[in-house]
């Protein structure tokens, strides 16, 4: 048994190290002084310094990391919550009554396979007309579309997991559909809703192309803002600062994921079983 | 009066209206562009050319090269991620039961933005500034060229697998943990050994999860863009051009909007057909 | 908050919004010396007495990644978010339909010279004021070359290697006298895969990533052998002995290990990292890298790219600022652009870190602070070239196609004849 346990720890250690290696290396690079980065590629830092993080976290003429973080947070929240609201009612109808199973479901799910960037121009024109350009709401709306396929899949499966008897019992008590959904189905779907939200938030946070195309100044998200930090006066890539900004950009979703990971687990399997 | 049909319409309304409002016009315009000759200069005056763009796309070697790349990439990464994810989930499950924090550590890679991950790999594998070649040279006096034409496919596959295995891992872990304890106890009472337990009992129960995991990872691998683009771009001679990169470049780099839309429509059609087929198959299997 | 305060706030906000719209918004190239310099000159401009409030310049910077993609979408959709935007020689053709030509100040000709002004022209019209000039330097490690030339045994070995790979016995020379044959010989000598005793791992770095900018770095090579995209009659002449020679020489260096095996994924940042690490003896690279490379390797020298049978050439292109056709404040924008083309502005821009291409007389005024600008200006007027078709509407797409085909050849995924056939077909499509 002991050998078995040690072996398992070893496997865990290797897996954790190998998979997280780029993140570790980036963190280490972020703690190296600028001159050292090009001189010393090893994982051992000769003179650790927080200078790169200081650069990132200071508000300068053009670079305001807090502005980008806030924009990302708001847009990602919209992009994560909206799909849940929009998809939940029909998810129930699809699971229980087969509404839209043949056409709507595959259509939405397949949006995931499409590089949505092809809609950049019409979206841009639409947004310009509606005054949504360079707004957090505008960005949030398109992020919601990006998250819709997974949301629908997870919610349909979550509803299918709920034993029919519970609903039938409620029906017999005279509950009509809205009450049924609100009182019975929604609470039972909580794990799935949380998972959808967390995955949606992370995906929305990590979106780059739409963040680039649909914002200019006021609503620039962190992914785009991060690239502002990449250049130096020489026009080259200052890896130390770039590494620091990548770490800072990754922190919010990381925090969310690490806090919520227990809850996430619950509904993923629910989604799987009733594929 | 609550006729089911009206009710269904009300339930479907939020989704349908949302899709129509946001994608209705873009989809229409994309179809128009797909059937016309358009450039950035003639956005408002597309010239109708019928199925010309589709013919050009289907006759374009680059398109098939990209399709083949995406297919290979999608299948290989999906299989590898699921195999690794399954192994890690099942093998580490006993430890995880007592140390839940292990899950947190293992899912970090998939939380980082794929575009950032691509950049991180670019640094990590750089012959002069990256740690991997540094240590390889120190230990073996040799470091393979990770990004030359021969090795680049392997490199991007490995990068993708390492980032997204946690996704499959999480799926399988939960499925594994959801197997009722009674099933295991009953088998144990019958004297079933661990390997047989896994192969004959646990794995079959996780098969639905496996399908979903394979499917989602395949789709994501098929439409990969961010991490490949930031790591190697289109690749020498276009060897790492995925479908998404092909469409992106046709659209924004070559300004060939008609061709980009036609390719996207073809892509969507293919994915749609595949999914419907897959659903039918799964239904028949279940 | 009572009603009066609310009204007051609303009014103030509305006023601020109106005032903001009545400025001249300039979209510049972010994150480099160009940004620093632009900020500096903008401050000078805004401080001018008698400048109307609504003609004050506001600067806007977006992301460096995908900058031109976003600019394309913005311009095509008729964005009014900026009045003036950045343009580059190779993309004027693409953006011209959405921009308006301008007339520069009277001083422009004297300050910049005709060659540099032409980098901002398209279809005979002046579309912008040039702000920065990009061309290529040959960067070399002077210390290594001095050591080589001082060692008779090394000189013999150098000659042997040249004879073996290039069929001609060569002797090391000062980089200012190099031909491409010398460049190749030097690259081979300083590569450990050819000469295990070499002090550097690689003799050179050739940026072979499938990226359009790398084609700009490369094509001074074939140009010096007489190549051109099209001849005077408009025939596509890319499949020429000149291009083939240059491509084959580059491939030979790659196969011999004279450039890192990962070169097929190298662009600006990677090449600089390689050179900065001290493991590269010489390379062709953009002039913008000068300060970075010299800081990392203080014995670095610079010169124009090596010469070929038809002369010495360097690709040039300019960055500049032009007028958005959908601009809301055209008069203010034009006033700013004209001011940017005066001597006062150009000198201030240079002093603040920019790299304008200046006529010799103008550059001489900065000889003490910016000697590299003297060099840049001189090279631009003496060696600068633009391919026939290099400013056309589809120029960028031509570079893209070349990048794909030529890097494929270098990487070994296709042979030269296939690459040439493909590129000829592509360029015929794009340029005719």
- The answer to whether residue A176 neighbours chain B at the CB level (below 8 Å) is yes
For the domain bounded by C136-315, which CATH number is listed?
Answer: 3.40.190.10
Residues of chain C with CATH 3.40.190.10: 19-133+317-385, 136-315
CB pair distance less than 8 Å for C209 and B236: yes
CB pair distance less than 8 Å for B252 and C72: yes
CB pair distance less than 8 Å for A224 and C63: yes
Share of chain A above pLDDT 90, in %: 25
The DSSP letter of residue C301 is: E
Task: At A82, list the tokens.
Answer: 């909206």
- The answer to whether residue C143 neighbours chain B at the CB level (below 8 Å) is no
Q: Which of B129, B236, B239 is nearest residue C273 as measured by Cβ atoms?
A: B129
Per-residue pLDDT, B285? 63
Q: Which of C76, C264, C408 is nearest residue B43 as measured by Cβ atoms?
A: C76
The answer to whether the beta carbons of residues A238 and A227 sit under 8 Å apart is no
Whole-angstrom distance, CA of residue A122 vs CA of residue B55 = 24
Q: In this structure, how many other beta carbons lie within 10 angstroms of the beta carbon of residue B278?
A: 16
**Mean pLDDT computed over A62-91:** 92
HSE of B147, CA atoms in CB hemisphere, 13 A = 33
Give how far B243 is from chain C: nearest CA, Å: 16
CB pair distance less than 8 Å for A216 and C60: yes
Cα–Cα distance list, C147 to C143, C144, C169, C195 (Å): 6, 5, 20, 15
The answer to whether the beta carbons of residues B114 and A202 sit under 8 Å apart is no
Per-residue pLDDT, A176? 82
CB pair distance less than 8 Å for B11 and A89: yes
What is the tens place of the pLDDT at every residue in C399-411?
989 999 999 999 9
Q: Which of A121, A228, A232 is nearest residue C76 as measured by Cβ atoms?
A: A121
The answer to whether the beta carbons of residues A217 and C60 sit under 8 Å apart is yes
What is the tens place of the pLDDT at every residue in B213-224?
888 888 888 888
Closest CA to C97 of C324, C317, C388: C324
Q: Which residue of A has its CA nearest to C279?
A: A39
Q: Which of B129, B145, B255 is nearest residue C397 as measured by Cβ atoms?
A: B255
**What number of C-beta contacts closer than 8 Å exist between A and C?**
88
Count the helix, strand and coil residues of chain B and give each as a percent rounded to the nearest 5.
80, 0, 20
Domain membership flag for residue B204: yes
Please report the domains of chain A, with CATH numbers, ordered by start residue. Answer: 1-49 (no CATH), 56-269 (1.10.3720.10)
The answer to whether the beta carbons of residues B41 and B195 sit under 8 Å apart is no
User: Which residues from A are below 8 Å from B208, CB to CB?
Assistant: 272-275
Whole-angstrom distance, CA of residue C421 vs CA of residue C408 = 13
Per-residue pLDDT, A198? 86
CA angle A90, A88, A204 (to 5 degrees): 120
Domain membership flag for residue B1: no
Interface of A with C (CB under 8 A): 38-39, 61-62, 120-121, 124-125, 128, 133-134, 209, 212-213, 216-217, 220, 224-225, 227-228, 230-237
CB pair distance less than 8 Å for B43 and C412: no
What is the tens place of the pLDDT at every residue in A49-59?
888 888 888 87
User: Which residues from C are below 8 Å from B249, CB to CB?
Assistant: 400
Domain membership flag for residue B51: no
Count the helix, strand and coil residues of chain A and give each as a percent rounded to the nearest 5.
75, 0, 25
The answer to whether the beta carbons of residues C88 and C319 sit under 8 Å apart is yes
CB pair distance less than 8 Å for B279 and A243: no
CA angle B105, B106, B108 (to 5 degrees): 70
Query: Picking from A30-44, A73-87, A204-218, C109-123, which range would have the lowest pLDDT averaged per residue?
Result: A30-44
Per-residue pLDDT, A267? 47
Interface test with A, best of C35, C36, C67, C73 (most A CBs within 10 A): C73
The DSSP letter of residue C177 is: G
- The answer to whether residue C313 neighbours chain B at the CB level (below 8 Å) is no
The answer to whether the beta carbons of residues A189 and A155 sit under 8 Å apart is yes
Task: At B60, list the tokens.
Answer: 């374009």
ipTM field: 0.84
Whole-angstrom distance, CA of residue B43 vs CA of residue C199 = 56
- The answer to whether residue C56 neighbours chain A at the CB level (below 8 Å) is no
Whole-angstrom distance, CA of residue A197 vs CA of residue C223 = 57
- Please report, for the domain that includes residue B123, its CATH number: 1.10.3720.10
Domain membership flag for residue B201: yes
Q: Which of B40, B128, B148 is nearest residue C76 as measured by Cβ atoms?
A: B40
CB pair distance less than 8 Å for B174 and A268: yes
Whole-angstrom distance, CA of residue A54 vs CA of residue A224 = 19
Q: Which residues lie closer than 8 Å to C252 by C-beta, 6 or more apart?
A: C165, C184
The answer to whether the beta carbons of residues B175 and A31 sit under 8 Å apart is no
CB pair distance less than 8 Å for C413 and B126: no
Q: Which residue of A has its CA nearest to C274?
A: A38
The DSSP letter of residue C366 is: T
Whole-angstrom distance, CA of residue B210 vs CA of residue B200 = 15
User: Which residues from A are below 8 Å from C64, CB to CB?
Assistant: 227-228, 230-231
Give how far B149 is from chain A: nearest CA, Å: 22
Pairing assessment for the beta strands C307-308 and C311-312 based on DSSP bridges: antiparallel
**Mean pLDDT computed over A144-150:** 92
CB pair distance less than 8 Å for A239 and B171: no
Length of chain A: 275
Whole-model pTM?
0.82
Task: At C260, list the tokens.
Answer: 């890192």
Give how far B85 is from chain A: nearest CA, Å: 10
User: Which residues from C are below 8 Å from B40, CB to CB?
Assistant: 72, 75-76, 94
User: Which residues from A are below 8 Å from B110, CB to CB?
Assistant: 202
> Where does the pLDDT of residue A274 fall: very low under 50, low under 70, confident under 90, or very high at 90 and above?
very low
Judged against a pLDDT cut of 60, whether residue A269 lies above it is answered with no
CB pair distance less than 8 Å for A113 and B115: no
Strand, coil or helix: what is C402?
helix
Domain count, chain B: 1
User: Which residues from A are below 8 Å from B211, CB to CB?
Assistant: 272, 275
Per-residue pLDDT, A270? 46
Q: Which of B149, B237, B255 is nearest residue C404 as measured by Cβ atoms?
A: B237
User: Which residues from C are below 8 Å from B146, CB to CB?
Assistant: 262
User: Which residues from C are below 8 Å from A224, CB to CB?
Assistant: 62-63, 65
CB pair distance less than 8 Å for C36 and A233: yes
Domain membership flag for residue B66: yes
User: Which residues from C are below 8 Å from B232, CB to CB?
Assistant: 209, 265
**Domain span at residue B243?**
61-285
- The answer to whether residue B99 neighbours chain C at the CB level (below 8 Å) is no
User: Which residues from C are below 8 Å from B145, CB to CB?
Assistant: 260-262
Touching subunits of A (3+ CB pairs, under 8 Å) are B, C
User: Which residues from C are below 8 Å from B128, CB to CB?
Assistant: 270, 273-274, 276-277, 279
User: Which residues from B are below 8 Å from C77, CB to CB?
Assistant: 43
CB pair distance less than 8 Å for B253 and C397: yes
> Where does the pLDDT of residue A233 fall: very low under 50, low under 70, confident under 90, or very high at 90 and above?
very low
Whole-angstrom distance, CA of residue A92 vs CA of residue A186 = 10
Give how far B237 is from chain A: nearest CA, Å: 22
- Cβ-count burial of B109 within 10 angstroms (0-12 exposed, 13-18 middle, 19+ buried)? buried
The answer to whether the beta carbons of residues C121 and C127 sit under 8 Å apart is yes
The answer to whether the beta carbons of residues A267 and A192 sit under 8 Å apart is yes
Whole-angstrom distance, CA of residue C208 vs CA of residue C330 = 42
Whole-angstrom distance, CA of residue A158 vs CA of residue A270 = 6
CB pair distance less than 8 Å for C64 and A230: yes
- The answer to whether residue B233 neighbours chain C at the CB level (below 8 Å) is yes
- The answer to whether residue A112 neighbours chain B at the CB level (below 8 Å) is yes
CATH H-level superfamily of C19-133+317-385:
Periplasmic binding protein-like II (3.40.190.10)
User: Which residues from A are below 8 Å from B284, CB to CB?
Assistant: none
Task: At C270, list the tokens.
Answer: 């990677």
| Binned average pLDDT, 10 residues per bin, chain C of 432 residues | 38 38 81 84 91 88 80 86 91 89 90 86 90 93 94 94 92 93 95 94 94 92 93 89 95 94 88 90 90 87 93 92 92 93 92 86 85 86 86 86 93 92 91 84
User: Which residues from B are below 8 Å from C407, CB to CB?
Assistant: 236-237
> Where does the pLDDT of residue A47 fall: very low under 50, low under 70, confident under 90, or very high at 90 and above?
confident
Q: What is the pLDDT along chain B (286 residues), one digit of tens a residue?
A: 457 788 888 888 999 999 999 999 998 888 888 888 887 777 777 788 888 889 989 998 889 999 999 999 999 999 999 999 999 999 998 888 888 888 889 989 988 888 888 888 888 888 887 888 888 888 888 888 888 888 889 999 999 999 999 989 988 887 888 788 888 888 888 877 878 888 878 888 888 778 878 888 888 888 888 888 888 887 887 888 998 889 888 887 777 888 888 998 888 888 788 777 877 776 676 5
Per-residue pLDDT, C220? 94
């Amino acid at each position: 048994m002991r050998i078995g346990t040690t072996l398992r720890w070893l496997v865990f250690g290797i897996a954790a190290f190998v998979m997280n290696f780029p993140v570790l290396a980036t963190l280490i690079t972020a703690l190296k002084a600028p001159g050292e980065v090009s001189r010393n590629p090893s994982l051992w830092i000769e003179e650790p310094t927080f200078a790169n993080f200081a650069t990132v976290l200071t508000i300068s003429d053009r670079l305001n990391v807090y502005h980008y973080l806030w924009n990302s947070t708001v847009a990602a929240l919209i992009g994560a919550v909206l799909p849940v609201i929009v998809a939940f009612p029909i998810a129930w109808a699809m699971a229980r009554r087969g509404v839209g199973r043949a056409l709507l479901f595959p259509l939405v799910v397949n949006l995931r396979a499409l590089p949505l960037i092809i809609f950049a121009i019409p979206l841009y024109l639409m947004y310009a007309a509606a005054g949504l350009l360079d707004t957090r709401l505008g960005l949030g709306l398109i992020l919601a579309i990006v998250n819709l396929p997974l949301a629908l899949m997870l919610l349909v499966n979550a509803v299918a997991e709920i034993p029919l008897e519970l609903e039938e019992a409620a029906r017999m008590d005279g509950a009509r559909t809205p009450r049924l959904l609100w009182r019975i189905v929604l609470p039972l779907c909580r794990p799935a809703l949380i998972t959808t939200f967390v995955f949606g938030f992370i995906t929305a946070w990590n979106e780059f192309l739409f963040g680039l195309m649909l914002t200019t100044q006021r609503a620039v998200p962190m992914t785009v803002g991060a690239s502002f930090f990449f250049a130096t006066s020489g026009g080259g890539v200052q890896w130390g600062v770039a590494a620091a900004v990548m770490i800072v950009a990754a922190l919010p979703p990381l925090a969310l994921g690490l806090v919520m990971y227990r809850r996430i687990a619950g509904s993923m399997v629910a989604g799987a079983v009733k594929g | 009066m609550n006729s089911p049909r009206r009710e269904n319409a009300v339930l479907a309304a939020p989704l349908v209206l949302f899709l129509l409002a946001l994608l209705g016009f873009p989809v229409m315009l994309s179809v128009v562009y797909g059937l016309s000759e358009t450039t950035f200069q003639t956005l408002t005056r597309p010239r109708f050319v019928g199925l010309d763009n589709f013919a050009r796309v289907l006759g374009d070697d680059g398109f098939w090269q990209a399709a083949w790349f995406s297919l290979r990439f999608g299948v290989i990464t999906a299989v590898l991620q699921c195999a690794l994810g399954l192994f890690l989930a099942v093998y580490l499950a006993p430890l995880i039961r007592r140390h839940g924090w292990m899950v947190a550590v293992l899912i970090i890679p998939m939380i980082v933005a794929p575009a950032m991950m691509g950049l991180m790999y670019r640094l990590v594998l750089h012959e002069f500034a990256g740690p991997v070649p540094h240590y390889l040279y120190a230990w073996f006096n040799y470091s393979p060229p990770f990004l030359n034409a021969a090795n680049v496919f392997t490199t991007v596959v490995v990068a993708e697998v390492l980032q997204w295995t946690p996704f499959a891992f999480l799926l399988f872990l939960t499925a594994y943990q959801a197997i009722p304890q009674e099933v295991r106890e009953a088998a144990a009472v019958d004297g079933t050994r661990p390997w047989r337990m896994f192969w004959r009992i646990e794995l079959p129960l996780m098969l639905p999860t496996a399908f979903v995991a394979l499917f989602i990872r395949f789709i994501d691998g098929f439409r990969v863009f961010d991490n490949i683009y930031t790591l190697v771009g289109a690749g020498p001679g276009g060897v790492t051009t995925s479908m998404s990169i092909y469409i992106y470049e046709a659209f924004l780099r070559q300004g060939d909007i008609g061709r980009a839309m036609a390719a996207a429509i073809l892509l969507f059609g293919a994915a749609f057909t595949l999914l419907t087929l897959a659903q039918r198959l799964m239904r028949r299997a279940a | 908050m009572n009603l009066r305060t609310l009204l007051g706030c609303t009014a103030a906000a509305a006023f601020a919004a109106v005032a903001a719209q009545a400025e001249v918004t300039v979209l510049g190239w972010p994150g480099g010396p160009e940004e620093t310099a632009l900020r500096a000159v903008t401050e000078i401009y805004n401080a001018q007495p008698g400048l109307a409030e609504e003609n004050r310049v506001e600067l806007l910077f977006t992301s460096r990644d995908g900058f031109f993609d976003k600019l394309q979408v913005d311009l095509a959709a008729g964005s009014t978010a900026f009045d003036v935007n950045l343009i580059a020689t190779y993309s004027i053709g693409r953006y011209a339909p959405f921009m308006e030509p301008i007339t520069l100040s009277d001083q422009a000709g004297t300050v910049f010279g005709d060659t540099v002004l032409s980098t901002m022209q398209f279809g005979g019209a002046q579309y912008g004021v040039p702000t920065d000039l990009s061309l290529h330097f040959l960067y070399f490690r002077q210390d290594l070359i001095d050591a080589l030339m001082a060692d008779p045994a090394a000189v013999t070995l150098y000659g042997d290697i040249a004879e073996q790979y290039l069929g001609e016995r060569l002797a090391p020379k000062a980089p200012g006298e190099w031909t491409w044959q010398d460049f190749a010989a030097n690259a081979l000598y300083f590569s450990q895969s050819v000469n295990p005793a070499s002090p550097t791992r690689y003799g050179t770095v050739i940026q072979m990533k499938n990226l359009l900018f790398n084609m700009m770095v490369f094509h001074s090579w074939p140009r010096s052998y007489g190549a051109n995209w099209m001849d005077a009659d408009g025939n596509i002449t890319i499949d020429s002995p000149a291009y083939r020679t240059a491509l084959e020489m580059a491939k030979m260096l790659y196969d011999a290990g004279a450039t890192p095996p990962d070169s097929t994924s190298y662009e600006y940042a990677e090449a600089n990292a390689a050179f900065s690490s001290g493991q590269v003896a010489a390379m062709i690279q953009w002039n913008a890298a000068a300060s970075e490379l010299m800081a990392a390797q203080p014995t670095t020298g610079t010169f124009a790219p090596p010469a070929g049978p038809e002369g010495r050439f360097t690709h040039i292109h300019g960055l500049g600022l032009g007028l958005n056709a959908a601009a809301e404040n055209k008069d203010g924008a034009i006033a700013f652009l004209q001011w940017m083309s005066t001597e006062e502005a150009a000198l201030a821009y240079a002093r603040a870190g920019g790299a304008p291409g200046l006529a010799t007389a103008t550059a001489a005024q900065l000889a003490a602070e910016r000697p590299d600008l003297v060099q840049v200006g001189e090279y631009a007027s003496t060696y600068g070239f633009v391919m026939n078709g290099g400013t056309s509407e589809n120029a960028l797409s031509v570079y893209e196609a070349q990048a794909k085909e030529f890097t494929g050849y270098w990487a070994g995924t296709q042979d030269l004849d296939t690459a040439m056939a493909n590129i000829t077909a592509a360029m015929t499509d794009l340029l005719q």
